[in-house]
């Protein structure tokens, strides 16, 4: 599914929708160039899960941030600066990704072999002044989630 996001608020807004529909165990993988909106959409998801606004930051240097949502924990990864897959083990990636809580992974494609089998692939493309989001479900849970997303998103453009 493709959605045009004319401005930053639309990116955060689609994140809000995903966050409202997210359940414990869900994984979202973000792919897109520098500045495509991966962190902003992760922020939208996190805020919808009840994370405090000032907690959400880009994990580019930390590799992983952990936030307390109102009901679920949110783990926010950015794999851009990670060099070797072994480093993922050191930060406990396997236990986090797909475990209790919601997992968000920026630059997921850099470590494609380390990803869980099932997740929602979110690709962000820069298009003119805005962005295009492409949602591709990997697995049955995410097919269902996508159907729910469609009920919330306006395609009238
Ligand atoms: N739909 C949109 N239209 C216009 N600008 C947008 C849109 N979505 C996000 N932006 C802007 O793009 C910029 C970069 O966003 P963000 O930091 O989320 O990117 P990123 O993909 O996480 O980048 P990086 O790979 O460097 O971490 C921000 O200034 C944000 O406001
Ligand atoms: Mg980012």
**Closest C-alpha residue for ligand 1 atom 29:** 35
Assessment of whether the complete model's pTM goes beyond 0.85: yes
Locate 126 and state its tokens.
Answer: 């820069």
Per-residue pLDDT, averaged over 121-129, amounts to 97
Q: Which residues have CB under 6 Å of ligand 1?
A: 5, 7-8, 10-11, 32, 34-40, 58, 60, 106, 129-131
SS (H, E, C) 111-132: HHHHCCCCEEEEEEEEECCEEE
Distance (Å) from CA 10 to ligand 1 centroid: 11
Q: Where is 65: in which H helix or E strand? A: strand 64-68
CA distances to 7, 66, 141 from 133, rounded to whole Å, are 12, 25, 19
pLDDT of residue 94: 86
| Top mutation candidate among 15, 16, 31, 40 for ligand 1, by most atoms within 8 Å of CB | 40
> Above pLDDT 70, what percent of the chain?
98
Distance (Å) from CA 15 to ligand 1 centroid: 12
Q: What are the residue ranges spanned by the domains of the chain?
A: 2-152
pLDDT of 142-156, one tens digit each? Answer: 999 999 999 988 765
What is the sign, positive or negative, of the torsion defined by CA atoms of 95, 78, 31, 86? Answer: negative
pLDDT of residue 107: 96
Q: Which residues contact 69 (CB under 8 A, 6 or more apart)?
A: 46, 49, 50, 51, 101, 102
Whole-angstrom distance, CA of residue 154 vs CA of residue 145: 16
pLDDT of 60-117, one tens digit each? Answer: 888 999 999 999 999 999 999 999 989 998 888 988 888 899 999 999 999 999 999 9
pLDDT of residue 60: 84
**Closest C-alpha residue for ligand 1 atom 31:** 8
| Top mutation candidate among 5, 12, 35 for ligand 1, by most atoms within 8 Å of CB | 35
51 pLDDT tier (thresholds 50, 70, 90) = very high
pLDDT of residue 156: 55
Whole-angstrom distance, CA of residue 131 vs CA of residue 14: 12
CATH architecture classification, 2-152: 3-Layer(aba) Sandwich (3.40)
Question: What single DSSP character describes residue 37?
Answer: S
Unique residue bearing structure tokens 């405090």? 52
Task: Identify the bridge partners of residue 57 per DSSP, sorted by sequence position.
Answer: none
Q: Which of 5-14, 54-63, 122-131 has the lowest mean pLDDT?
A: 54-63
Mean pLDDT of the chain: 94
Unique residue bearing structure tokens 């380390």? 114
């Amino acid at each position: 599914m493709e959605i045009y996001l004319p401005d930053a608020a639309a990116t955060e807004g689609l994140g809000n929708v995903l966050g409202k529909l997210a359940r414990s165990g869900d994984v979202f993988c973000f792919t897109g160039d520098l500045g495509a909106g991966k962190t902003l959409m992760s922020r939208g998801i996190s805020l919808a899960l009840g994370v405090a606004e000032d907690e959400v930051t880009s994990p580019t240097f930390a590799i992983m941030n952990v936030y307390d949502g109102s009901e679920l924990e949110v783990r926010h990864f950015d794999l851009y600066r990670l060099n070797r897959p072994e480093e993922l083990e050191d930060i406990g990636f396997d236990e986090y990704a797909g475990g209790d809580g919601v997992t968000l992974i920026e630059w997921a494609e850099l470590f494609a072999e380390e990803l869980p089998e099932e997740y929602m692939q979110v690709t962000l493309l820069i298009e003119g002044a805005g962005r295009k989001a492409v949602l591709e479900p990997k697995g049955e849970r995410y097919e269902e989630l996508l159907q729910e997303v469609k009920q919330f998103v306006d395609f009238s453009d």
